[in-house]
């Protein structure tokens, strides 16, 4: 007769990390696309002396300097919008953090840009994790980030970039991970 040992604690902890496919990025990419298109068409209308916009008459603008400035702003906005749509499509920064006691491995995976190294993976034994660190910076550009301390490596960020996580969620995630890994929680 064999006895099996059951544990109430899960053997794997996996958390998804939100990348560039956020509502705020989609909003700004859309605003930049329509705004840039409007400015570019206004500049082209002033050059061609043909109204290309249904809601305004930019043919009255003098091409130099007003039409050139409008065209420049339009091209700049469309370039930035294109960049945003590309990173949204590739979901740059998205991925997951996985901590597996059964295989004794931790794995951090993020999506990057094009190329053969599009997916960034960091893998270590669980015993290399020394602490979970919470970094909080308030003010005009607040940041709230969880970091994993690993022997011989710089701290690895575990949370999404951009919009700060609510403080209570950050504390709960940090405490849960520190408890799971049986390491100290620093920074609170």
* Span 21-57, pLDDT tens digits: 999 999 999 999 999 999 999 999 999 999 998 888 8
171, pLDDT greater than 50: yes
Structural domain span for residue 160: 93-186
Kindly state whether residues 101 and 67 are assigned to the same domain.
Answer: no
Domain final position from 59, 90, 121: 90
Kindly state whether residues 69 and 124 are assigned to the same domain.
Answer: no
Reference 15, options 130, 123, 173, 178; nearest CA is 173
2 — pLDDT class (breaks 50, 70, 90): very low
Kindly state whether residues 106 and 171 are assigned to the same domain.
Answer: yes
Q: Indicate whether 37 belongs to any domain.
A: yes
Burial 147-180 (b: 16+ CB within 10 A, else e): bbbbeeeeebbbbbeeebbeeeebbebbeebbeb
4-13, 82-91, 134-143, range with greatest mean pLDDT: 82-91
8 — pLDDT class (breaks 50, 70, 90): low
Establish whether the linkage from the previous residue to 65 is cis, with ω within 30° of 0: yes
Q: What is the mean pLDDT of residues 95-119?
A: 88
Kindly state whether residues 52 and 108 are assigned to the same domain.
Answer: no
**What's the structural domain count of the chain?**
2
Domain final position from 68, 90, 112: 90
166, pLDDT greater than 70: yes
What is the spatial distance between Cα 87 and Cα 131, in angstroms, rounded to a whole number? 32
What is the spatial distance between Cα 54 and Cα 45, in angstroms, rounded to a whole number? 11
């Amino acid at each position: 007769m064999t006895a099996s040992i059951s544990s109430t604690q899960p053997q794997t902890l996996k958390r998804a990390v939100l990348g560039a496919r956020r509502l705020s990025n989609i909003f700004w990419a859309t605003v930049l696309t329509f705004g840039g298109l409007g400015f570019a068409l206004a500049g082209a209308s002033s050059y061609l002396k043909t109204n290309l916009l249904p809601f305004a008459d930019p043919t009255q603008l003098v091409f130099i300097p007003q039409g050139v400035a409008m065209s420049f702003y339009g091209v700049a906005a469309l370039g930035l919008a294109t960049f945003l749509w590309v990173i949204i499509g590739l979901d740059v920064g998205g991925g997951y953090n996985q901590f597996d006691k059964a295989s004794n491995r931790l794995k951090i995976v993020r999506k990057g840009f094009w190329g053969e190294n599009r997916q960034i993976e960091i893998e270590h034994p669980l015993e290399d994790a020394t602490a979970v660190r919470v970094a909080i910076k308030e003010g005009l550009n607040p940041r709230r980030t969880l970091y994993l301390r690993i022997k011989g490596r710089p701290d690895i960020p575990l949370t999404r970039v951009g919009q700060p996580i609510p403080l209570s969620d950050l504390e709960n995630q940090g405490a849960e991970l520190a408890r799971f890994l049986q390491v100290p929680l620093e920074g609170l």
